[in-house]
Amino acid sequence: MNSAPETKGSARQLEAWLLSNTPTSRRHARLGSLYKGWLKLKSNKLAMLGLFILIALVVIAILAPIISPADPFEQNLGNRLKPLGTEGHFLGTDSLGRDLLSRLIYGSQITLYIVALVALIAPVAGLFVGTMAGYLGGWADVVLMRVTDIFLAFPRLVLALAFVAALGAGIENAVIAISLTAWPPYARIARAETLTIRNSDYISAVKLQGAGGLRIIVKHIWPLCISSLIVRVTLDMAGIILAAAGLGFLGLGAQPPSPEWGAMVSEGRKFILDHWWVATVPGLAIFTVSLGFNLLGDGLRDVLDPKDSGDE
């Protein structure tokens, strides 16, 4: 009973400490600015909705074995194409009698898997190329940026299609194909950031202390590129999800019986006129998740990169 006001008091203390105008240490200042960013993000209701959708996605993916009502692969031909709200099958069943809700729940794992892999590969590759080009300058810059421009000029989905055609269909190859088409914008951003950082005084100071090129790039340039990359990644995630779902829909991504959402739409397509929910429900899931990323990305951009948002 007594503890409630006390924790409230300490929470207020913590807030005052975070919002302090005179930070006492580097970590204090960093936490404080993080907290201010969070407050700004929190005031954006749409961004909060996006964050909520993504947290729900992660929770569902982790708890999939516990919360899914049935085995997503178990077929029951006597029970096929049951409509929404059927006893025991809340979202109905597909053409092989598999529970759609369970397949959706397990499909969230695949979506997260693809998103996480691409989000790890593409920005890191772009960061590497961009900072190298920006820091080294000269010929290295010209060559690296020309390669980037070539990839940037290429239509992304068609390029991904051609890559998958060469590598073979499958979820890993889809990830590789999407990453190959996704890294150039990151390289552009990282290079632009590097060019503005390269000649600043603190880099000269580090150089005078005898730091080598690699050390300067990794420890002193990369950290400053991160925030603009994060915004870009969040905004890109929606496109990545849509690309992966598109590949799945074409039968070039995850292979059956995997409950990938795009492939599920494609399966349900044959029954769209009489059994609309089989194709519609997984499509709604794709839409919800990519909307979540877009909402959050839009809000993050306002917080981290105000010059870009057109607000304030």
Binding mask 34-73 for another protein (x = CB under 8 A): ------------x---------------------------
The only residue of 128, 163, 186, 222 in contact with another protein, by rule CB under 8 A: 163
Task: For another protein, give the closer residue by CB, 114 or 197.
Answer: 114
Q: Is 162 in the site for another protein (CB under 8 A)?
A: yes
Spatial separation of the C-alpha atoms in residues 300 and 305, rounded to whole Å: 8
Task: For another protein, give the closer residue by CB, 172 or 298.
Answer: 298
The only residue of 39, 63, 218, 272 in contact with another protein, by rule CB under 8 A: 272
Q: Is 286 in the site for another protein (CB under 8 A)?
A: yes
Minimum distance from residue 272 beta carbon to another protein (Å): 5
Within a 13 Å sphere around the CA of 194, how many CA atoms are in the beta-carbon half? Answer: 26
The only residue of 156, 198, 207, 220 in contact with another protein, by rule CB under 8 A: 156
Q: Is 154 in the site for another protein (CB under 8 A)?
A: yes
CA 165 vs CA 111, 151, 169, 251, 257: distances in Å = 21, 18, 7, 11, 20
Minimum distance from residue 303 beta carbon to another protein (Å): 16
Spatial separation of the C-alpha atoms in residues 261 and 108, rounded to whole Å: 8
Minimum distance from residue 157 beta carbon to another protein (Å): 6
Binding mask 291-310 for another protein (x = CB under 8 A): x-xxx--x-----------x
| Contact status, residue 224 vs residue 202, Cβ threshold 8 Å | no
- Backbone φ/ψ region at 27: left (φ over 0), alpha (ψ -120 to 50), beta: alpha
Q: How many residues bind another protein (CB under 8 A)?
A: 51
Q: Is 149 in the site for another protein (CB under 8 A)?
A: yes
Q: Is 269 in the site for another protein (CB under 8 A)?
A: yes
Secondary structure string (H, E, C) spanning 258-306: CCCHHHHHHHHHHHCCCCCHHHHHHHHHHHHHHHHHHHHHHHHHHHHCH
Provide the H-helix boundaries in the chain. 3-18, 26-42, 45-62, 64-67, 100-136, 138-153, 156-167, 171-198, 201-208, 213-215, 222-249, 261-268, 277-304, 306-309
Joined together, the tokens standing for residue 211 give 């730091």
Secondary structure of residue 84 in the 3-state scheme: coil
Kindly list the residues in this chain that would bind another protein in the complex (CB under 8 A).
46, 146-147, 149-151, 153-159, 161-168, 238-239, 242, 245-246, 249-252, 262, 265-266, 269, 272-273, 276, 279-280, 283-284, 286-287, 290-291, 293-295, 298, 310-311
